[in-house]
Structure 1
Amino acid sequence: MRGGGSQRSGRSRLLRVTGIVLGCALVVSLAGAAWAYWHLNQNIKSVDIDSALGDDRPAKAMSTPSPYGAASPSPLPSGALNILVLGSDSRSGARNQELGGGSSGGGARSDTAMVIHLDEGRTKATVVSIPRDTLVTRPSCPRESGGSTAVAYGAMFNSAYAVGGPVCAVKTVEAMTNVRMDHYIEIDFAGFAGLVDALGGVTVTTEEDISDEDSHLELEAGTHHLDGTQALALARTRHGIGDESDLGRIGLQQQLVKALLDQVAATDLLGSPTRLYKVAEALTDSLTTDTDLDSLPELMSLGQSLKALSSSTTETVMMPVLPAPSDPNRVVANEPEASELWESLR
């Protein structure tokens, strides 16, 4: 009898200790999750573009409403959307300086600009690259410190970001396309390279040898699995390919966009919390968005609404251009083809 009571008492103590250990583990786990959420949320930088530009903008795209009384199959947003994505060559921070090979001075430029149009339903996308050397009429833009920039005729497209930051970049794109940019996303060197590494690299196929001293990239023609530093070098490469112009570089950047979509599809992020966190940290740490996307829930909602998107349903094109009459090293929009392209995205 005494032996049986002793065993029950021992089991009782063991259960209590196990419960305490599991409770502590749960508290630690929840605390860790809360810290991770706070950390990632704090990473995101934002710009209030809507307030800066006011109502003098193209109209928002109208989405087809659901049939009366029909239940929505998903709470996720599904309307058509236009997003301006800029790649910034900011040298801010040691990692950006290392990847950019430059000093920390001189400000930043938007050397990569893409308008991503998501069709209604968000199962198809069109990615339109805007050459940085395009000569445009840069509108007057509000300055963060007050006042406005002057209208500039025949200015290089990427000068908009240099003189007025994200607000002027958005206003210039809207002025030249008459398409409302619903969102703005900017990522720098370190963010792009970190994202590629967190995803496990990307696989691309090059049709010619690439040797570029400026981007420090050496690749033989063929299929390669690139890490983040190599992928960034490929995105920046223009010397040693084609006519060494920005137009050749755009082709490589569009190839990388599809490679990233394929890599995301092949990576079970939800099945690997560690990798998911690495991807989220790499992305948010170097991300600047408009204020409608500046939180984890908003970014997650956007990402989840694109889960049906794939490289096969994504079309990549470049804004139609031709050599500028005033400078053969610059380009201008080729009309009416350019206007017809933008019209298709409204």
Structure 2
Amino acid sequence: MNVADDQMPPADVPATETMHPKHRRMVLRVILVTHLVLALLTGVGVAVGYQQLNGNIETLPGIPDEVDRPDKVKVEGPKQPINILIMGSDTRDGEGNQIDGESGSEGSDTTILLHISADREDAYGVSLPRDALVDRPECVMADGEKIPAEQLAMFNEAFSLGGPLCTVQMVEKLTDIRIDHQIVVDFNGFKDMVDAVNGVDVCIPKDVDDDEHNIHFDAGEQTLSGQQALNYVRERYVLSVTGDIGRMTRQQAFIASMINKVVSAGTLSRPDRVYSFLDAATSSLMLDEELANLKSLVDLALQFKNTGLDDIKFITVPFAEYEPDPNRLVWTDEADDLWERIRNDRRLGREFSGDSLSADDPVGTTSGAPSGDGSPTAEESADAEAKAAERLAAGLCA
């Protein structure tokens, strides 16, 4: 047997199960591209499908020219970094868009600033708490109407008053980061995306019996369907000792797990699931004019071909309790360091990545693993214990 034969996996073991994770993810991308090419060869069928998917997408109004915006930071190389503001919205009517029993409160329950590096090998999402108090600047709407500025306003009030336009202007003013794209996702479509990939895996540390909001879960690792997933990411009374902060951490973990599921062989090897996911995603998205077409979305997705799951991380902006009211938060001075990193297209670094959640390990099965080959050091053990405690407080398995 030659060297090449000796390296081949056994005949009854799928090749993707024996490969290095980086190679395995590349194989999965090849599977996806192959299916897309085969779909293109079907002619009329894909034309109809393309029209359907493209027609699903809604366009958001652009930032008015009169608004003073941060400059784009240029870096060397053929590509530039991308900053996308993602907002989860409960503004649309329908049974799926109810939070805590109330419908259409016209707020943004989830806001994430996603930074994609210029080399497309690194991406991280920064969650922005809805209960943080910020100095909201004046917002200019598409029709020229101006929404007055307000000091110590709740972060999510910007969306209630002026929708994504006002939220983008506020984030740019507070961070001095140019937002390249804005995306709004409605909750009803979120359910359909989960169902399209046949559910998303989570680990729940304890039983949940929230009769008031009709949310019930058994403890342990499990795969959640669409409605279950919606209940999971909204629950903030039983699972999370830290309330909304814990819920925000669980939302990060769930998004990471969904990314993991979308790029898994079980999804990419099934064209019907790929199409169903794209149909659900495009039906639930509102995007800025530049992104609001299927071609632009596909072009953006293809730029991630060199981004491994372990390179996609989620963190929360550094915050502290607002002393006069412990139910409110404020960003700390460390947030300024984070915004500077994003402006200059720098990696998170140890300062911020230590508490991050990775799309490569959304359930947290390796979060306490030692960095070396032997037993963990005392410092590593202490860090692992602290991280486990934080995960439990947020309603995640340790």
TM-score under structure 2 normalisation? 0.71
**Amino acid in structure 2 at the alignment position of 1:92:** D
Select between 266-275 and 249-258 the one with higher mean Cα deviation: 266-275
State the 1:310 CA deviation. Answer: 3.8
Aligned to 1:89: 90
* C-alpha distance in structure 1 between counterparts of 2:213 and 2:255, whole Å: 19
- Pairing of 1:183-332 with structure 2 (within 5 A): 183-213=181-211, 216-267=214-265, 271-332=269-330
Whole-angstrom CA distance in 2 between matches of 1:100 and 1:328: 22
Match of 1:20 in 2: none
Alpha-carbon distance in structure 1 between the residues aligned to 2:172 and 2:114: 13
Q: Tell me, yes or no, if the aligned pair for 1:203 and 1:225 is still in contact at 8 Å.
A: yes
In structure 2, C-alpha distance between the alignment counterparts of 1:116 and 1:288, rounded to whole Å: 16
Structure 1 Cα separation of the partners of residues 148 and 176 of structure 2: 20
CA contact (8 A) 2:114 2:123 kept: yes
Separation in 1 of the partners of 2:210 and 2:88? 20
Question: Over aligned residue pairs, what C-alpha RMSD do you find?
Answer: 2.3
SS of aligned partner of 2:83: strand
Q: Is residue 84–residue 115 contact of structure 2 (8 Å, CA) maintained in 1?
A: yes
In structure 2, give the amino acid aligned to 1:149. I
How do 1:47-58 residues align onto structure 2 when only pairs under 5 Å count? 47-50=60-63, 52=64, 54=66, 56-58=68-70
Distance 1:281 1:100 in 2: 27
Q: Is the 8 A contact 1:215 1:234 kept in 2?
A: no
Specify the alignment match of 1:3 in structure 2: none
- Residues 1:175 and 2:173 aligned together: yes
Cα separation, 1, equivalents of 2:340 and 2:213:
36
The equivalent residue for 1:26 is none
Q: Distance in 2 between matches of 1:162 and 1:278?
A: 31
Q: Identity over the aligned pairs, expressed in percent? A: 37
Partners of 2:325 and 2:142 lie apart in 1 by 32
Deviations 1:219-238 (A, max 9, x none): 23321111111111111111
For residue 101 of structure 1, report the CA deviation from its aligned partner.
4.1
Residue by residue over 1:70-118, the C-alpha shift from the partner in whole angstroms, topping out at 9 and shown as x without a partner, is: xxxxxxxx53211111111224235435x87434x54x21110111111
Query: Aligned pairs, how many?
Result: 304
Cα distance, 1:332 vs structure 2: 0.6
* Inter-partner Cα distance in structure 1 for 2:215 and 2:260: 23
For 1:44, the equivalent position in structure 2 comes to: 57
Aligned residue among 340, 345, 350 for 1:343? 340
Structure whose CA Rg is larger: 1
Q: How does 1:3-18 map to 2 (within 5 A)?
A: none
Deviations 1:251-297 (A, max 9, x none): 10111121012101214655433222211110111111111100000
1:135 aligned to which of 133, 136, 140: 133
Is residue 62–residue 142 contact of structure 2 (8 Å, CA) maintained in 1?
Answer: no
- Pair 1:114-2:112 in alignment: yes
1:62 matched residue in structure 2: 74
* Offset of residue 142 of structure 1: 1.5
Report the Cα distance in structure 2 between the residues aligned to 1:120 and 1:153, rounded to whole angstroms.
35
How many angstroms apart in 2 are the aligned matches of 1:249 and 1:149?
A: 30
Query: How far apart are the structure 2 equivalents of 1:82 and 1:321?
Result: 21
Could you tell me which amino acid in structure 2 is paired with residue 334 of structure 1? T
Structure 2: any 5+ residue segments left out of the alignment? 1-41, 344-398
Distance of aligned partners of 1:217 and 1:83 in 2 relative to their CA distance in 1, 3 Å threshold: same
Distance in 2 (alpha carbons) for counterparts of 1:294 and 1:100? 31
Amino acid in the other structure paired with 2:89: S
For the Cα contact (< 8 Å) 2:191–2:226, is it kept in 1? yes
DSSP-derived class of the 2:102 partner: coil
Query: Which runs of 5 or more residues in structure 1 are unaligned?
Result: 1-28, 67-77
Task: Find the residue that maps to 2:109 and give its secondary structure.
Answer: strand
Q: Helix, strand or coil for the counterpart of 1:116?
A: strand
